[in-house]
Amino acid sequence: MNHTLFKIAVSDFHDRYGRMPTVAAYAPGRVEVLGNHTDYNEGFVLSAAINYGTFFLCAPRSDHHCHVTADNFKETATFDAAAPMPAKKHGWANYVKGVHAGLHVHRPAAHGFDALFIGDVPLGAGLSSSAALEMAAGLALVKLYGLDMSPLALARIGQMAEHHFAGVKCGLLDQISSLYGKANALVETDFRSLTVKTVPFGSDACLLLCNTHSKHALVDGEYNQRRAACESATAHFAKKLPHPVKALRDVSWAEWKRHKRGLSKVVANRAAHPIGENERVLEGARRLAVGDMEGFGKLMFESHKSSREYFENSCPELNRIVEAAAHVPGVMGARLTGGGFGGSVVVLVHPRDAETAGAALSSAYTRHFKKPCDTCVVTPSAGAQLVKEAV
């Protein structure tokens, strides 16, 4: 948690609204380490909350107006507390509107609020700055309105905000990772039972993030197309297999190979990715349990190959970094992280080699694309929380 950033937020809130906030919350971004597009297929994911996040500060109003300032952009959006509606202008406000609507789905809010948020999650990097905003806003507004909300219920509200206000049919990975993160641990989630546990990450490896700044816009339909293909494949396997198939989680790799006939090549390939990923996540958890970071890293390389060949949610920028990483001393694994189609690569590397590996990967990227690639170490960190010293 960046306390300097928080102090800036408090000062800017006072400058903008002429008073101090009464509630403040913080939520981190997340890095997906293994398990890509498995969440909405009722599968498994290993992820981590990271040491970059978003602060959301607010105070009640006596009327029904809601004012939200995006401090990073110096923009303010307004909406009616009783009837928040998605809008194209100030698209970032749709995440807050959606969370507010979800919290008050059974009863309109009794009053409005003034709010301001600020964050240091790199935008478009595949680290889910949107979920960080949703969960920070959710925690703060739950406190502001005196509501009773479990973490899982709040995660679902964030998901619905994405579906109905931002237009992205995401799973629950981002919200759960932000809420359930723990220092120096990965979050292992079963997205069928929605059970969450943390897995010690150990000190023999660290996570290096390579942000390509390439296009990462899921609302353009690519994400939704992949999800639709997975649903189509699920219906196919439900008819072919002798056991119940509710989601691709219920299909093994061997079953995919035997029964994919009848699917188009594209749909079969789309299904192959989450099916293989589920098996990699379970194997990855076993590798972590015995401290086999080299074996875990190999699974990350396999995961990226599947993204590139089957799911086609990678891009030349991401592929270049992963290819270069395979030849950098100290690197054990690398893969795209998040929805894909741009953004970032997460690299598993020995801590002693992180600095030199980052420099080597950045240099390789710049030589090839004639533009910079940012690298930084991301640390598995604690999840979303109210900021008690705030007010």
Q: How far is CA 360 from CA 57, 316, 327, 330, 331, in A?
A: 40, 18, 10, 11, 11
For residue 259, give both structure tokens.
């029964």
| Burial (Cβ within 10 Å: 0-12, 13-18, ≥19) of residue 104 | middle
Return d(Cα 239, Cα 261) in angstroms, integer. 12
114 noted as active-site residue: no
The helix (run of H) or strand (run of E) holding residue 101 is helix 93-103
Helix, strand, or coil here: 294? helix
Return d(Cα 13, Cα 58) in angstroms, integer. 8
Return d(Cα 35, Cα 355) in angstroms, integer. 26
Cβ neighbours of residue 133 closer than 8 Å, sequence gap 6 or more: 27, 54, 56, 92, 95, 96, 117, 119
The catalytically annotated residue of 174, 220, 292, 374 is: 174
Complete DSSP assignment for 41-74: GT-EEEEEEEEEEEEEEEEE-SSSEEEEEETTTT
Q: Among all residues, which ones are annotated catalytic?
A: 174
